[in-house]
Amino acid sequence: MFDNKSNTVFEAGYLKLYRSGLLKTIADELYQSISECSICPRCCKINRFKSYSGFCHSGYKVIVSSYCLHFGEEPPLVADSGVGNIFLGNCNLRCLYCQNYQISQNYHIEKNNEVSFEKLADIMIELQEKNATSIGFVSPTHFLPHILKSLIIAIEKGLTLPLIYNSNGYDSVEILKKINGIFDIFLPDFKYGDNEIALEYSSAKNYYEIALDAITEMHNQVGSNLLYGNDGRLKRGLIIRHLVLPNNLAESFKILKGIKSSIGTNVCLSIMSQYYPAYKAHEKILISRPIRESEYNKVLNILEELGFENGWLQDYESKHIYKPDFNDRITPFKIKE
Ligand code: SF4
């Protein structure tokens, strides 16, 4: 596979929206809306200024569980110096096998990592000063309004890097439309082709349709081509991640067929073999083992049959390389340049 790229002079999309005043309007509107929260498709309608009782157990302050330069993302994102990843705490999914479960599923503990918008802005600036290629928000969905409020402060302190929206795909199209132009790079997961399985393993209703619609909207915003700056770093585009699960629980064929018919085969895919049983995976027999090489190869064959040509394939043996440990919040990943 190869990447579908072109070179361009780049300015992050949010800068134009900041200059026009629109970024502030969007940030304020979204932040106010958490008083009856519908930021993600769960539409809990709770008041996050007063309560943590939404599905994501997240309130009016943003939770930063960890941040670092990360070298384990796709090659054009890492480029010469790594992505400046900011790992937000909690999640709007409950994946029984979550590899980041230490920070995504421990809301009592993660509440201790609530920070101010100023602090999140300072983190973005710190990562930019460390020569990050971009700022990657990992699990941004439930904290999107907080990210935008912090972004305004970061812009005023000199932020210019592109932003990555690295989500689980369980995003609201309506909210994505509102933030059109702010994120230059979308890096969503597409986890399940079967809603019953998504409900059982991630407590997510209608995951397939919701993720397909959300990713289609991301594609509407940035297209299929990857745009590189004159510095050779990825500046704009969509990369759809798909983690192959044991026993075909992800229904990879249905996912790839859905992408083909809604988005086309030019889009960049990142096919991942790194599944290993984490968190509560040992309680469910069908996800209690890594994937087999034959299972992975079957998905690669489907890719070829459907005509996908752009993107990246993880090596089958990669599961040990990408295993995070958030007990070490400073360097949760041991991958080096
Ligand atoms: S962001 Fe959290 S509180 Fe808001 S709708 Fe989603 S899960 Fe519920």
- Binding site membership of 44 for ligand 1 (Cβ less than 6 Å): yes
Tens-place pLDDT, residues 245-255: 999 999 999 99
| Residue 324 pLDDT | 76
Could you read off the pLDDT of 166-187 as tens digits, one per residue? 999 999 999 999 999 999 999 9
Stretch 315-328: mean pLDDT, rounded? Answer: 75
pLDDT digits (tens, 9 = 90+) for 192-226: 999 999 999 999 999 999 999 999 999 999 999 99
Nearest CA residue ID for atom 3, ligand 1:
54
* pLDDT for res 59: 98
Q: How confident is the model at residue 318 (pLDDT cuts 50, 70, 90)?
A: confident
Mutation test of ligand 1: which of 46, 141, 205 has the most ligand atoms closer than 8 Å to its C-beta?
Answer: 46
- The residue among 319 and 229 whose pLDDT is bigger is 229
**Would you say the CB of residue 91 lies under 6 angstroms from ligand 1?**
no
What pLDDT is recorded for position 199?
98
Question: In the predicted model, what is the mean pLDDT of the chain?
Answer: 94
pLDDT at residue 35, rounded to an integer = 98
- Ligand 1 centre and the CA of 141: distance in Å? 9
The residue extents of the domains of the chain are: 5-320
pLDDT in tens, 98-139: 999 999 999 999 999 999 999 999 999 999 999 999 999 999
* Distance from C-alpha of 115 to C-alpha of 87, rounded to nearest angstrom: 13
Tell me the best of 39, 48, 58, 168 to mutate to test the pocket of ligand 1, counting ligand atoms within 8 Å of each CB and taking the most. 39
Whether 330 shows a pLDDT value over 80: the answer reads: no
Query: Which of 142, 168, 207 for a ligand 1 pocket mutation test, highest count of atoms within 8 Å of Cβ?
Result: 142
Which has more pLDDT, 318 or 120?
120
Q: For domain 5-320, is the CATH number 1.20.1640.10?
A: no
Residue pLDDT, tens place only, 4-26: 555 557 899 999 999 999 999 99
If you measure from the C-alpha of residue 243 to the centroid of ligand 1, how many angstroms do you get, rounded to a whole number?
24
Q: Is the pLDDT of residue 57 over 60?
A: yes
Per-residue pLDDT reduced to its tens digit, 62-96? 999 999 999 999 999 999 999 999 999 999 999 99
**What percentage of the chain carries pLDDT values higher than 70?**
95
Band of pLDDT at residue 335, cut at 50, 70 and 90? low
Task: Determine the pLDDT at residue 132.
Answer: 98
* pLDDT score of 336 more than 60: no
pTM: 0.95
One-letter amino acid for residue 201 of the chain: Y
Comparing 43-47, 82-86, 144-148, 325-329, the range with the smallest average pLDDT is 325-329
| pLDDT confidence of residue 2 | 42
Phi, psi of 106 (to 5 degrees): -125, 65
